[in-house]
Structure 1
Amino acid sequence: MEMRNLIVMLTVLLNSEYCGAIHWLGLTVNGSSVGWNQTHHCKLLDGLVPDQLQLCRRNLELMQSIVHAAKQTKLACQKTFSDMRWNCSSIVHAPYFTPDLEKGTRESAVVFALASAAVSHSISRACASGELPSCSCGPAPAEQAGPDFRWGGCGDNLRYGLQMGSAFSDAPMKKSRSGSQATKLMHLHNNAVGRQVLIDSMETKCKCHGVSGSCSVKTCWKGLQDLSDVAADLKSKYLAATKVIHRHVGTRKQLVPRELDIRPVRESELVYLVSSPDYCNENDKQGSYGTQDRQCNKTSNGSDSCNLMCCGRGYNAYTEKIVERCQCKYHWCCYVTCKKCERTVERYVCK
């Protein structure tokens, strides 16, 4: 494991021009231990481009939200892709990344999109919760209230979240002179897709008022769905991502679909430049950890099935004893007692 980590670290040093834009995900390592109340704290994370450092110095209060976004990006990605061969292991060692994120793959597309959405999501909610002095609740909805509800409460400030989030997430691609133009365009496009999915996740949330919970009156506001819901939508786009090439369209070079270059790239689709490994076998040069010893579902027909997860190599079965609460009873007033029950379950892991 130590040798693998060393290889990953050396690789990122040689190819940092591609992943520098998401080095901030490394805030999961030391970001929580920083007070973020002095400008020199901004230098604690290597890899931030000048514009990101400037944003940090001028808006120190935002950094706690960005640290939170880094943590949520990692958790949401790993949870959402836990049933696939690629289970978002590429960001485990952030700010050091596996090679698959440095080559413009569909995996890098979804990580960039999710990270971009997470920054704006975290800032928007921090505004509504009163954690940031520079912003407050989101503006009141323009649409008229219905007969059974009124606008009120404190909605997530998506406008401010998008403004500050895009400034932070897009800065490396807009200012850096390193890296290919195609890669920069790809990352900027996918960042925008992530933020659009976040915008689409805004929904009406309500709280009831009335005698004995009658809900005769409802107070409603606009709020964002959880980041896990955003990640689920991005997973669908990941599965349907479009491979693109960088070529002249008219007087300038643009990203166009490799197979159907007669149409422009849609604003709603994730794009990638390089095909991914199959992630079946361990390969440090490709950024694949392989699926050996990964748990699979014997009865599933989906991506977590033993056939797909194990790449046809077969699987081993073992039994595991689980102790859980059971036969719970409510006692007036007001506690619950439960017994402990033991059951045996069968697990399957890839060969």
Structure 2
Amino acid sequence: MALIRHCVTLLLILCCSRLCGAIQWLGLTVNGSRVAWNESEHCRLLDGLVPEQSQLCKRNLELMQSVVNAAKQAKLTCQMTFSDMRWNCSSVENAPNFTPDLSKGTRESAFVYALASATISHTIARACASGELPTCSCGATPAEVPGTGFRWGGCGDNLHYGLNMGSAFVDAPMKSSKSGGTQATKMINLHNNAVGRQVLMDSLETKCKCHGVSGSCSVKTCWKGLQDLPHIANELKSKYLGATKVIHRQTGTRRQLVPRELDIRPVRESELVYLVSSPDYCAKNPKLGSYGTQDRVCNKTSVGSDSCNLMCCGRGYNAYTETIVERCQCKYYWCCYVMCKKCERTVERYVCK
């Protein structure tokens, strides 16, 4: 029996890996951080990449540190964005092996695919502007005529290069003949990847720096820069909350994704899509990829998703007090240091039963 259970576990892991191969690169935080990325042989150390991604790695070694950084940022940003909800993205730490919440075409996997796609292009674009990559530099000067009182200058994020390299890497598994997953799964993954990149493109804004005597800002130098990842993640979270459940069916001469409830219209390019409904994530259930909310911190006074009523799923909560030490009564002394006292205060915490 033990042998059978072991074999079943291995089979589940293999199936999961094949289905969610497009985000297996998030596992680069496990082994990619220990690599110097100065030899093509290092690409062989990466588990789960399809041949096309391995080739991209070998041809663009200088890019791989940015890819590793993007994997770290995607994980951290996902967990921060969903820290107030029952599903808190903790399962992303399992990369490159994922639980069912991220391997079966759920609403949660739609968000992670979109965020990962946006993050890798964002990280590469920023790396170009900061001079970290020898293959690219600042973004192109905008074609639009500058307004009154400012001129184009500075070093803008190279969104064009970031999108090209990022999409080539994250879309490769869905376009590879050697990757697993159904056609429907590949289609929704490609769609959600594109949604992530569109939100990234929409975040490009004009940023300026003032010049002039005594900060008069008589002249401004401006460039195009991307907003930070938390902003992009929050935009995607809104799309996650309004995501559309779809089916994969024959439409004319080809199979397409159409909304399950409103199949009279095509899927919009701006909306996240998913195939499988999610559990409520209240109780721990490994088969569904649910960690449950027992022992999660909740907010007694909130009426949102982090409220004790919603977070604890009606099971109730326990209260306890905690003493924290923090800096207080700080004074600035000329020149040039600050001295503070240490103060203790007691706070009340609430944890789901």
Considering the TM-score relative to the shorter chain, is it more than 0.5? Answer: yes
Partner of 1:107: 108
Alpha-carbon deviation of 1:15?
2.5
Q: TM-score if structure 1 supplies the norm length?
A: 0.96
Residue 327 of structure 1 pairs with residue 329 of structure 2: yes
SS of alignment partner, residue 225 of structure 2: strand
Partner of 1:131: 132
* Closer, same or farther: CA 248–302 of 1 in aligned 2, 3 Å: same
Q: TM-score if structure 2 supplies the norm length?
A: 0.96
SS of alignment partner, residue 72 of structure 1: helix
Partner of 2:66: 65
Alpha-carbon deviation of 1:110?
0.4
Amino acid at match of 2:57: C
**How do residues 176-187 of structure 1 correspond to structure 2 at under 5 angstroms?**
176-177=177-178, 178-187=180-189
* 331, 336, 342: which one aligns with 2:344: 342
Task: State whether residues 110 and 273 of structure 2, in contact with CA within 8 Å, keep that contact through their aligned partners in structure 1.
Answer: yes
Task: State whether residues 249 and 257 of structure 2, in contact with CA within 8 Å, keep that contact through their aligned partners in structure 1.
Answer: yes
Task: State whether residues 62 and 133 of structure 2, in contact with CA within 8 Å, keep that contact through their aligned partners in structure 1.
Answer: yes
Amino acid at match of 2:300: K
Q: Deviations over 1:315-351 (max 9, x none)?
A: 0000000111111111112111111111100000000
Partner of 2:82: 81
Residue 251 of structure 1 pairs with residue 284 of structure 2: no
Alpha-carbon deviation of 1:10?
6.0
Q: Deviations over 1:241-297 (max 9, x none)?
A: 000000111111100000000000000000000000110000011011100000000
| Structure 1 CA distance for aligned equivalents of residues 73 and 247 of structure 2 | 31
**How do residues 153-232 of structure 1 correspond to structure 2 at under 5 angstroms?**
153-177=154-178, 178-232=180-234
Alpha-carbon deviation of 1:8?
7.8
Partner of 2:4: none
Task: State whether residues 11 and 99 of structure 1, in contact with CA within 8 Å, keep that contact through their aligned partners in structure 2.
Answer: no
Amino acid at match of 1:83: D
| Structure 2 CA distance for aligned equivalents of residues 349 and 279 of structure 1 | 16
SS of alignment partner, residue 315 of structure 2: coil
SS of alignment partner, residue 324 of structure 1: strand
- Pairs aligned (count): 346
| Structure 1 CA distance for aligned equivalents of residues 270 and 210 of structure 2 | 35
Alpha-carbon deviation of 1:7?
9.2
SS of alignment partner, residue 320 of structure 1: strand
SS of alignment partner, residue 20 of structure 2: helix
* 275, 278, 281: which one aligns with 1:279: 281
Q: Deviations over 1:141-165 (max 9, x none)?
A: 1111111111000000000100010
| Structure 2 CA distance for aligned equivalents of residues 10 and 124 of structure 1 | 38
| Structure 1 CA distance for aligned equivalents of residues 212 and 149 of structure 2 | 12
Q: Give aligned-pair identity as a percent.
A: 79
| Structure 1 CA distance for aligned equivalents of residues 34 and 210 of structure 2 | 39
| Structure 2 CA distance for aligned equivalents of residues 89 and 28 of structure 1 | 15
User: Structure 1 residues 19-28 or 191-200, which shifts more?
Assistant: 19-28
* Closer, same or farther: CA 183–299 of 1 in aligned 2, 3 Å: same
Partner of 2:33: 32
Partner of 1:90: 91
Over the residues paired in the alignment, what is the CA RMSD in angstroms?
1.3
| Structure 1 CA distance for aligned equivalents of residues 44 and 346 of structure 2 | 52
| Structure 2 CA distance for aligned equivalents of residues 313 and 136 of structure 1 | 54
Residue 44 of structure 1 pairs with residue 45 of structure 2: yes
* Closer, same or farther: CA 250–135 of 1 in aligned 2, 3 Å: same
Task: State whether residues 16 and 98 of structure 2, in contact with CA within 8 Å, keep that contact through their aligned partners in structure 1.
Answer: no
SS of alignment partner, residue 118 of structure 1: helix
Partner of 1:312: 314
| Structure 2 CA distance for aligned equivalents of residues 305 and 295 of structure 1 | 9
Alpha-carbon deviation of 1:176?
3.1
Amino acid at match of 2:183: Q
Alpha-carbon deviation of 1:12?
2.5
